[in-house]
A and B are shown apart, each in its own frame.
Chain A
Amino acid sequence: MSNRKLPVYLDYSATTPVDPRVAELMCSYLTPDGNFGNPASRSHEYGWEADKAVAQARAQVAALINADPKEIVWTSGATESDNLAIKGVAHFYKKKGKHIITCKTEHKAVLDTCRQLEREGYEVTYLDPQSNGLIDLGKLKAAMRDDTILVSIMHVNNEIGVIQDIKAIGEMTRERGIIFHVDGAQSAGKVPIDIQDLKVDLMSFSAHKIYGPKGVGALYVRRKPRIRLEAQMHGGGHERGMRSGTLAVHQIVGMGEAFRLAKEEMAAENERLLMLRNRLWDGLKDMEEVYLNGDLEQRVAANLNISFNFVEGESLIMAVKDLAVSSGSACTSASLEPSYVLRALGRSDELAHSSIRFSFGRFSTIEDVDYAISLMRDKVEKLRELSPLWEMYKEGVDLSKVQWAAH
């Protein structure tokens, strides 16, 4: 009998556990015997100590991306960072233009923010990615206009893990004088980021994707050339007026420590994660009708997104209940729409409905991966026995030619 904790957690792209080293540090910033002060209190030592802790965390977050600590603005998470960046730029520079460019595979925090700006009278171009998930730079260039004020492209996609060429995009935006925002929620700690080498103007970060706590994030705001934002949260003028609100010191300290550990351990960790990913893919790829979603080379080590054709994702999730993974199928939503990311890659509805995202992390083991392989193989076979689509495929029926009674 294995003493493994079930279900096995392979959903690190959704969130990560807080590293115990981070949690321990955070605890010392809460209680009466700890460092609980308000960093905005300038009149006593409690405030000064808290301010010092925040400054250190700011330096740690900045260090991971080689930025100046003054360029880091604390937020409640990547969603808020995306909102602040996109709305903040759009509102501040509205006299310059009202056109924004993004991509159909962005996170909802970007897409829904852009939708809101459309309601306010802005114009947004949503680029189609290529079938491997990467942006066609030629298409991006063609979409740029004289009134384009902002391009927002994520670094690493949350569903399929592909890495966009933000260095090349930054060269293009800077040349045209367009501000470039990058959602880096899924890339920090997984891909080396040297902001000095990138012409990225704004970059969103989250703590809980890299072993920090939920509820805290940051926005990198470039100082040279200086990027201006209209604040979305008004109040005491914290964070140089860009984001008011008493700083959540314990959260911030946790994010700082998580980013410090990421900087220290990323190289070794990536090597191990890549080994796990290759092991999983090698263990599954010889199955019939299995498709990898997203480019395999331009991809973070921690992500594998696979479609098991002719098996519906939600039933597969149910069958592998001893694995904590996520599916691109959304049978419970009112629309019954499968993953918009996979649809944007041109995947058929069937394949989008049949997708499973595996994402690994710091506490994943070889045993976890081997367990996942045997469970997936077994359950996919069982569900295919149940599947009329599999039966038709085996009979040689071309499913794309069948007239379905859609409901």
Chain B
Amino acid sequence: MAYSDKVIDHYENPRNVGSYDKSDETVGTGMVGAPACGDVMKLQIKVNESGVIEDAKFKTYGCGSAIASSSLLTEWVKGKTLDQAREIKNTAIAEELELPPVKVHCSVLAEDAIKAAIEDYQSKQSD
């Protein structure tokens, strides 16, 4: 499997690895995938009062493309409003990382992860 330079860069120097406290009211957590499928992605966003994503962190169990997809995503969501972040499409991730067709599911997982994180954050606010 030949990876693109961008995948290798994100894989070797993953951005924003880490975790926030899940119970923090300003944090939204999205955990998607399953060990049985070979990938699990955990994406966390930290949102300020004006609804802008201040910071993001991730941890991923999966192949290089899954790790790169989530690492890239944390870079992209920073500074975006929740609505803007929700608009991020897996195709954009796949294109940026030049993922081959067999790895497109990794970018789908990343899109699912940001949507799940936003949902989690918003459900906390409505409580």
* Chain A residues with a Cβ under 8 A of chain B: 310-315, 318, 329-334, 336, 338, 348-350, 353, 385-391, 399, 404-407
Decide if A385 touches B61 in the complex (CB within 8 Å): no
Check B41–A314 contact: CB distance below 8 A: no
Interface residues of B in 4-60 (CB under 8 A from A): 11, 14, 17, 19, 31-42, 59-60
Verify A388–B63 contact, CB threshold 8 A: no
How many whole Å from B3's CB to the nearest CB in chain A?
7
Q: Are B108 and A407 in contact (CB under 8 A)?
A: yes
7 residue pairs bridging A and B, Cβ less than 8 Å apart: A315-B67, A336-B38, A338-B38, A391-B59, A405-B112, A407-B109, A407-B112
Contact B62 A315 (CB under 8 A): yes
Kindly list chain B residues whose C-beta atoms are within 8 Å of the C-beta of A313: 38
From A330, A386, A399, contact of B35 by CB (8 A): A399
**Which residues of A have CB within 8 Å of B1?**
314, 332
B60 touches A387 (CB 8 A): yes
In the complex, what residue of chain B is closest to A399 when comparing beta carbons? B35
Report which of B17, B31, B105 forms a contact with A386, defined as CB distance below 8 A: B17
Is B61 touching A331 in the complex (CB atoms < 8 A)? no
A185 to chain B, nearest CB (A): 25
Known: A386-B60, A388-B61. A329 touches B42 (CB 8 A): no
Contacts A312-B61, A318-B63 given; does A407 touch B38 at CB 8 Å: no
Query: Is B35's CB under 8 angstroms from A389's CB?
Result: yes
Contact A405 B34 (CB under 8 A): yes
A334-B102, A391-B19, A407-B108 known; A315 vs B63 contact (CB < 8 Å) = yes
Q: Which chain A residues border B32 with CB–CB below 8 Å?
A: 405, 407
B64 CB-CB contact with A under 8 Å? yes
Contact B61 A311 (CB under 8 A): yes
Q: Is B124 an interface residue (CB 8 A)?
A: no
CB 8 Å contact bits of B96-124 with A (1 = contact, 0 = none) = 00000011010011001000000000000
B95 to nearest A CB, angstroms? 19
Minimum CB–CB distance from B23 to chain A (whole Å) comes to 13
Contacting pair B61 A310 (CB below 8 A) = yes
Query: Which residues on the B side are within 8 Å of A353 (C-beta)?
Result: 35, 38
Q: Which of B3, B19, B33, B60 contacts A407 (CB 8 A)?
A: B33
Cα A350 to Cα B38 in complex, Å, equals 7
Closest CB in chain A relative to B68 CB, distance in Å: 10
Contacts of A387 in B (CB 8 A): 59-61
- Do B59 and A349 touch (CB < 8 A)? no
State the CA gap A385–B19 with chains docked (Å): 11
A336 to B35, CA, bound (A): 11
Residue from the list B61, B67, B105 in contact with A389, Cβ < 8 A: B61
Residues from chain A with a CB closer than 8 A to the CB of B38 are: 312-314, 329-331, 336, 338, 349, 353
A404's contact among B11, B34, B60, B67, by CB below 8 Å, is which? B34
Would you list the 9 A-B pairs with minimal beta carbon distance, nearest first?
A: A404-B34, A349-B36, A388-B42, A314-B63, A388-B59, A350-B35, A406-B34, A331-B63, A387-B61
Q: Once bound together, how far apart are the Cα atoms of A387 and B1, in whole Å?
A: 22
Produce 1/0 per residue, B65-99, CB < 8 A to A.
01100000000000000000000000000000000
Partner among A312, A338, A349, A385 whose Cβ is within 8 Å of the Cβ of B63: A312
Chain B residues with CB below 8 A from A386, complex form: 14, 17, 59-61, 67
